[in-house]
Structures are given as C-alpha cells and as structure tokens.
Amino acid sequence: MLGRWQPYALLPVGVLGLLLARSSFQAGSPALALPVVDTLEPVGSVLVGAAVLHERPAPSAAFLAVQGLGAAPAVAGIAVLDRPPLVRGGAQPGAAQQSSTATT
C-alpha cells in the first residue's frame, strides 16, 4: 500500500482542502460560504473520480440529464438547510425568553 502514490497524495490534498475551506469562511459570512462549500464538495468528488480514477459519470446524455435532475433538489436542499435563522441574522435563541421574563 505504501508503495503506491495515492497515500502520499492524500496528505497534501487534505491540507489544501482544509486551507480552502478555512479561507472561504474567513472571506465572507457563513450564510454565503457554507452552501457553496457543501455544493462544490460532491462536484469536486465527481471531477476527481472522472479525472484521476477514469470513472464515467453517465454513459449517455439521458442518464446525465437524470443525474442533473437528481442534483437540482440536492443543491436546493443544501441551500435551505445551510442557512439557519441565526446565520441569516434572525433572533437570538434566548431573546424570546428574555423578553417574556422582562415583562412579568
């Protein structure tokens, strides 16, 4: 196993991924960075599989269209789930409790 190139490529690629993820969160708000990172991660995996491992994503245009139709709700779900109210600038978790105790 250690005689092959893959284990040695894992470390620099992992460090590069960590640096890219960290810089994306430092560049802007998490509400913008998190959906982009979570969407591009599987896209990058497909590209690496096609380029390095010589995998074929779809044997025909019809199958590619079906894969695209499956990816669209996944991307929409990522965009919705990665934007919780606190990240969007909504109310603080204890704000409702504090206002109710202040009035009583």
The 10s digit of each residue's pLDDT in 52-80 is 888 887 788 898 889 889 888 988 888 78
Neighbour tally for 7: CB within 10 Å: 10
- pLDDT tens sequence across 15-50: 988 888 888 778 877 777 777 788 888 888 888 888
Do the Cβ atoms of 83 and 29 come closer than 8 Å? no
Domain ranges of the chain: 29-88
Closest CA to 30 of 95, 96, 97, 83: 83
Contacts 24+ apart (CB under 8 A), 69-76: 74/42, 75/39
> Which pTM was predicted?
0.55
